[in-house]
Amino acid sequence: MLNAISDFFQRTLAQPEQRENHSLTLELATAALLCEIVRADYNTTDEELATLRTMLLTRYRLSESAAEELMTMAEAQVEEAVDHYQFVSLIKEHYNYDQRCELVALMWQLAWVDGSVDPLEEHRIRRLAALLYVSHSDFIRTKLLAEESH
């Protein structure tokens, strides 16, 4: 099962131009990066998973079962990934700057779900924002907006 998922990711992430519908690949890459935030503090809660599911349902207009499948596949991929390159490069290629900032904002929202931002979560978001070429000022802006709305 895990090999099948890994093979799927290798095919779709390595060669997205061969797919007619890029959105599924982008959904997987986005979900994987959001899973990284959920896992960052080594304490995944039901509330964080529910928030992630809601984000995916809302952002991509998925059914409950499709969101569950997407989360399962993203979690499996994150477990096996050596680095974030495959996710980040795909997102940078297909998302404009504002969409990348929105993704960083979602990361902050996830980090705040449990009431506070763990230093490990902040470090992970900072690293991913830099890899996504989101400016430091926008990194801070999204952080402050998420803190205010919490």
Count Cβ atoms below 10 Å from residue 92 Cβ, excluding itself.
Answer: 15
More confident residue, 24 or 116: 116
pLDDT in tens, 48-89: 999 999 999 998 888 899 999 999 999 888 888 778 888 999
Domain range for 128: 2-149
Give the DSSP H or E segment for 73. Answer: helix 64-80
Q: What per-residue confidence (pLDDT) applies to 86? A: 85
Counting beta carbons within 10 angstroms of the beta carbon of residue 47, is it exposed (0 to 12), middle (13 to 18) or buried (19 or more)?
Answer: exposed
Q: What per-residue confidence (pLDDT) applies to 82? A: 76
More confident residue, 67 or 5: 67
Q: How far apart are CA 73 and CA 87, in angstroms?
A: 13
pLDDT in tens, 96-113: 999 999 999 999 999 999
Q: What is the CATH number of the domain that holds 77?
A: 1.10.3680.10
Number of domains present in the structure of the chain: 1
Residue pair 27/56 in contact (Cβ under 8 Å)? The answer is yes
